[in-house]
Amino acid sequence: MSAARDEIFAAVRGAIDSATAPGAVPRTYRAAGTLDEPARIELLRERLVDYRARVEQATSNDVHNVVETIVGGTRIVVPPALPDAWRPANAVEDDGLTPRELDALDGVVTGCTVAIAETGTLVLAGGPVEGRRALTLVPDLHVCIVRTEQIVETVPEAFARLRGLERRPLTFVSGPSATSDIELERVEGVHGPRTLAVVILEEEA
């Protein structure tokens, strides 16, 4: 057994010693978007609707009312740093709630780090306005508030925004949780929220 192992390791070392350095990775893909802000917002909205998400638009003056309309008086949890204007009435602040306690609540309201218009994807990086991953994976409803300046057009632009956050638990959300069985029957809510609502927030000057 020992001789066989030594032979394998010797072969690996020989392969490494004789290997040539890898060449530069070609990066000819499209990195930067060309759409202006209104077009990026509309593209994100279209992609989210394709994913069966509910999409609303709001300003800083009416965002609270929009969130209240979505949650409809249900029991909602929020991360500790969520702005007061985004919090529905009687929201429960997460102080390390257990998965069972989170499951007993109806939904969660969070922000995000960046949104990708081209793919209809929201990226959460575990920041203070997004909270820990369990918040957005356990409750049945996820209301995510996206500021217009957080919307980029392409995936490379999103990763440029995420640079420096690689050690955080990044969560990529493209519509409500969905999966299909062997007969291709779509089932929602198996691995996360059954319902995703996105509020696109345009900050007023």
Query: Consecutive sets of 10 residues in the chain, 205 residues long: mean pLDDT of each?
Result: 85 84 85 94 96 94 96 94 94 94 96 97 95 92 97 96 90 82 69 89 77
pTM of the model as a whole: 0.83
Query: Which pLDDT score is estimated for 199?
Result: 98
First to last CA, the chain: 73
157-166 tens-digit pLDDT: 999 999 998 8
Class of domain 35-202: alpha beta
C-beta of residue 148 within 8 angstroms of C-beta of residue 41: yes
Query: Which pLDDT score is estimated for 150?
Result: 97
Residue 58's contacts (CB-CB under 8 Å, 6 or more residues apart) are 66, 199, 200, 201, 202
148: which 2 tokens?
A: 């217009």
Query: Which pLDDT score is estimated for 184?
Result: 72
Residue 99's contacts (CB-CB under 8 Å, 6 or more residues apart) are 134, 138
Query: Which pLDDT score is estimated for 21?
Result: 80
Whole-angstrom CA distances from 19 to 7, 50, 95 are 18, 47, 52
29-78 tens-digit pLDDT: 888 999 999 999 999 999 999 999 999 999 999 999 999 999 998 999 99
Full strand arrangement of the beta sheet holding 151-152: 151-152, 114-116, 121-124, 171-173
